[in-house]
Amino acid sequence: MTATRRTLIAGNWKMNGKSADGVALATSVGGKMKSAAGASFDMLVCPPFTLISKVGEAIKGSGVMLGGQDCHTNVSGAHTGDISAEMLKDMGCGAVIVGHSERRTDHKETDELVAAKASAAHAAGLIAVICIGETEAERDAGKTLDVNGSQVAGSVPAGSNAKNTVIAYEPVWAIGTGRTPTNDEVQEVHAFIRGELAKKVGANEAAAMRILYGGSMKPGNAKELIALADVDGGLIGGASLNADDFWAIGEASN
């Protein structure tokens, strides 16, 4: 965390939530943000597509940003089951997650596809939250920096800058497992990612670009993680499904 980059606390609800609980969660998070008027961090919630509209209504005027969890590379067309970045923008979204490891695994998404999705997000006026991170086997093989370096090189498209792009470093083995790298390991990877970003977007944009940590972030470990020099917030899965926990993570960044 540094004073020049505004902390972002982002919730990825994944494939969770039906109308009643999703709206209740969003209403609670929005209410907390509103009553905290002037919070020193930004907050983003990314519900499943089915709840985008209702969650958008629930957080309206609260200052919490709405986001999608994925988008297609095209604006419109014959792509059954897909959603475009323009459609998300039309529903009031300000951001979209691209390249989450679950999509890279479940849908065989490549760096090239992720970069194209991020470009589509930029073209629609959305912030692309580009996810990268190594698997446990890659970490054990000493390839952590190589893997993250090549994902930055391949997944961050031309035209990316600190305003339209956020990077989320999510070690795959830390997602939903309750395990996290040590603080030193997190800081090492984040600083390395910032250095690789500089090669793509220039030193000034890289210095201003937010790099979030994701993977078992909870109220109990958020403060020390977000305090690290190159960690600018969190991308939170499980703990973002509980309004009190999600909010506590935001407050831990103060």
- Positions touching ligand 13P (CB under 6 A) are 12, 100, 170, 175-176, 214-217, 235-239
| The two three-digit tokens of residue 167, written as one number | 């990077």
Instruction: Name the catalytic one among 86, 170, 190, 196.
Output: 170
* Cβ–Cβ < 8 Å for 170, 132: yes
Handedness of CA 207, 200, 125, 227 (dihedral sign): negative
Give SS3 for 113.
helix
Instruction: Name the catalytic one among 100, 102, 122, 134.
Output: 100
Q: Which is closer to ligand 13P, CB of 65 or CB of 235?
A: 235
Residue 4: count other Cβ atoms within 10 Å of its Cβ. Answer: 9
* Cβ–Cβ < 8 Å for 122, 95: no
We find the least distance from the C-beta atom of residue 132 to ligand 13P, in angstroms, to be 12
Amino acid at 22: G
- Ranked by CB distance to ligand 13P, the top (closest) residue is 237
Q: Which is closer to ligand 13P, CB of 86 or CB of 114?
A: 114
Q: Which is closer to ligand 13P, CB of 86 or CB of 169?
A: 169
Q: Exposure string (b/e) for 174-184, b if CB count within 10 Å is 16 or more?
A: bbeeeebbeee
We find the least distance from the C-beta atom of residue 215 to ligand 13P, in angstroms, to be 5
* Cβ–Cβ < 8 Å for 171, 139: yes
| The two three-digit tokens of residue 42, written as one number | 């930004």
Q: How many residues does the chain have?
A: 254
Q: Which is closer to ligand 13P, CB of 86 or CB of 102?
A: 102
We find the least distance from the C-beta atom of residue 100 to ligand 13P, in angstroms, to be 6
We find the least distance from the C-beta atom of residue 16 to ligand 13P, in angstroms, to be 10
Q: Which is closer to ligand 13P, CB of 10 or CB of 39?
A: 10
Q: Is 100 in the active site?
A: yes
We find the least distance from the C-beta atom of residue 65 to ligand 13P, in angstroms, to be 16
Residue 28: count other Cβ atoms within 10 Å of its Cβ. Answer: 16
Mind telling me the catalytic residues? 100, 170
